[in-house]
Chains A and B, each alone.
Chain A
Amino acid sequence: MNLVVCLKRVPDTETRIRIDASGSVIDPSGVKYVISPYDEFALELALRSKEATGAGEVALLSLGDSATQETLRKGLAMGADRAVLLTGESGMDGLATAKALAAELEGADAPLVLFGVKAIDDDQQQVGPMFAALTGRACVTGVSSFLVEEGKVVCEREVEGGSETVEATLPAAITITKGEHEPRLASLKGIMAAKKKPLEEKPAQAVASRVRVLSLREPSARPQGRIVGEGADAVPELVRLLREEAKAL
C-alpha cells in the first residue's frame, strides 16, 4: 500500500528566533533548517509500515520554497522512495496549506496520508485534520503507532489520562506524535541513494492566505528569578514565597 508523508521544513529546535526589521517575519539568516520533528516520527512509522508489509512506496510531499529540496533529500536518505515539492508559501493559514496538499493528492493512489501532529515553527496543529475534512477521509490525530490492515488502519492514540486503540476506514489521514520509535539516521548508503531518487518540483496550486500577521513580538522577559537558598533548609522560605508572593499555593 502506498503511503504519503507530508513534511515541513522548519527552523531547528536550537535556533534562536530573531524578528526582522519589518517586525512581522522571522529573520531567516543564520537559521538551520530541519524536517519538523513530528514529521520525522511520521516518516519513521511509514518506513516501518512499508518494511513490515513489503509492498507499496513511501512518498514525501511538501509545500515550501526551493530550499525545501534539501529537506526532502534528507527524507529520501532516511528511506522514502520519491518526493514532490510544491513551491509556494506555507504561512500561518493552515487551511490554505491543507488545500494545496489536497489538490496535489486528488485522484492519487494514496490510501494513507501521514502528518506530524504539529509543525514546530507555527505550532498550529491543524493541517492534518483539515486535509482530512477537505478530502472526506477518516482522520485520527495524535497517533503514536499504527498497523495497516485490510481496508483500515488501527491506531494507538494518546488521550487525556490514558490511551486508546482506534480503527479508521481507509482512505485515511493520521497525525503522528512522538512514540517509542526514534527516527532512524540516514546511512551513507541512504544519502548516496537519495541523490538518484525522483524529486519532482512544481508550483503549488495558489490558495490565498486569510491569516494576516500584523506583527511579531518577543516573549515578555521573565522577571529575574532568585535562588532562595541551598538544600532542604531553604524549603520553608520557598513555601512562604510561593504562598505570599507568587500566590501559587
Chain B
Amino acid sequence: MANLLVVAEARDGRVGGASREAVSLAASLAGPLGAEVEALVVGGPGVSADAGSVGAAGAATVRVAEHEALAEYSPEGYTQVVVEHVRGGDYVAVLFSATTQGKDLAPRVAAVLDVPLATDVTGVEVEDGVLVIERPISAGKAFARLALDATPVMASLRPNVFPVTEVGGEAAISAYTPDLDASSWKVRVLERKQTGGGSVDVAEAAIVVAGGRGMKDPSNWNLLESLRDAIGAGAALGASRAVVDAGWRPHGEQVGQTGKTVAPTLYIAVGISGAIQHLAGMRTAKTIVAINKDADAPIFNVADYGIVGDLFEVVPRLSEEIAALKAGG
C-alpha cells in the first residue's frame, strides 16, 4: 500500500509544531487515499525521545534516522537520508513543512528524485483519488490550484495554515542509524550566531508584533518587546522594510514581498502604513490589528480591528491590558 510520508523537523531534539500540522493534514488525506501516515524524523542521537508526539497527531508509524552528523541540520546529510528513505518505500506523497529548513531541504530532495515540488502550500485536497494542491502566487495576490504529474507528489506546507487535530494515536516508532560520510560534504557551518529575542522566527510565530517607521527610533522597540512578552510564548517581532533598511531592525525580521511571508493567527501592525509590498507578506494572517495615527493609512483596509491613535499611548496600554488578562487567567 502506498503511504503518505511526512518529513518531520526536529529542532533541539523537539519535533516542531509545523511537523504536527503536516502530520495532521496527512492523516486527513489518508482515508480518501486509502493510505497510512508515516513520519520520518531526522536528527542527532536521542531525537527519538520526542518522536512519539507525531503519533498523537495521526502518524501510524514513525521512522527515526539518528546520527551524530545529523544533530544540526546539514543539507547534504538530510537530503541523503530523505532520498534513501523515499526510494526505499512506496509513497503517494511526501510532505515537508515550509520552514527555513524545509525550504532548503525539499527542493534538493525533489531534484534528486526527479519529481516536481509545490512549495508553501496552503491547501491540499483529494479529488477523484488525486491530490490537488493550492498555493499562493505573487505574494498572495492570487492562488493557484495545481496538479503534479509525478509520483510521489511532493509539497512543502506553509506553517500555521493547517490545524493540528489530536487523535491521540500511538505510533510504532523505530530508529535506525543511516550510513553517512560527513567528510564528503561540501558545505560546512563555521559559526552560528544567535540574535537573541527568543528562538521563534517571525515566519513561524503564531502571533507577530510588527513595527514600522512610526516607531520613530530603534530605542522605542522596548515598547514592542514588552507587548510581545505580555502575549507570551509563540510571539515574535516583525518589521517593515523601512525600518530594516534604516538599520533599526535585523533583516530576518522584515515582513513583506522582499522579506518573510507570515500567516500568524494574529498580526499587530504598529506604525506601519500598509504599503502593498508589506501587505504582500502578511495579508493572509487570520486576524490583523492596526495601530496608526493616520485614519487613512492603507493598513486599515486589511485590518480586522484598528485603533486610530498615537502608538506611544496605545501600545503601553495594550501591553498592560493583555498582561492583566493573562494574569487573570
Contact = CB atoms under 8 A, between A and B. Distances in A.
A225 B306 contact: yes
Contacts of A165: 189-191
A140 B74 CA distance: 11
Given A130-B110, A211-B148, A235-B318, A26 B104 contact: no
Contacts of B325: 239, 243, 249
B100 A222 contact: no
Nearest to B140: A219
A169 B144 contact: no
B87 interface: no
Interface of B: 11, 75, 79, 99-101, 103-104, 106-108, 110-112, 114-120, 132, 135-150, 186-195, 197-201, 203-204, 207, 231, 245, 251-252, 254, 257-259, 261, 265-266, 276-277, 280, 283-284, 286-289, 295, 300-310, 313-314, 316-318, 321-322, 325
B104 A19 contact: no
A117 to B, nearest CB: 9
B116 A93 contact: yes
A94 B187 CA distance: 23
A211 B194 CA distance: 38
Contact of B286 (A16, A122, A230, A248): A248
A238 interface: yes
Contacts of B149: 210-212
Interface string A126-164: 111111111001111110100000000010001111111
Interface of A: 11, 13-17, 19, 26, 37-38, 92-96, 98, 120-134, 137-142, 144, 154, 158-169, 172, 177-180, 182, 209-219, 222-223, 225-232, 234-236, 238-239, 241-243, 246, 248-249
A123 B258 contact: no
Contacts of A213: 144-146
A122 B237 CA distance: 26
A111 to B, nearest CB: 13
A169 B183 CA distance: 12
B46 to A, nearest CB: 21
Nearest to A153: B187
A232 B314 contact: yes
Nearest to B321: A239
Given A178-B251, A227-B306, A239 B318 contact: yes
Which 6 pairs between the two chains have the least Cβ-Cβ distance?
Answer: A138-B186, A133-B111, A126-B107, A231-B309, A130-B111, A160-B201
A130 B110 CA distance: 7
A139 B147 CA distance: 28
Given A210-B148, A216-B143, A217-B143, A234 B193 contact: no
A242 B189 contact: no
A158 B231 CA distance: 26
Contacts of A210: 115-116, 148-150
Given A94-B117, A126-B119, A248 B193 contact: no
A247 to B, nearest CB: 9
Given A94-B116, A167-B187, A215-B145, A235 B257 contact: no
A129 B258 contact: no
A92 B317 contact: no
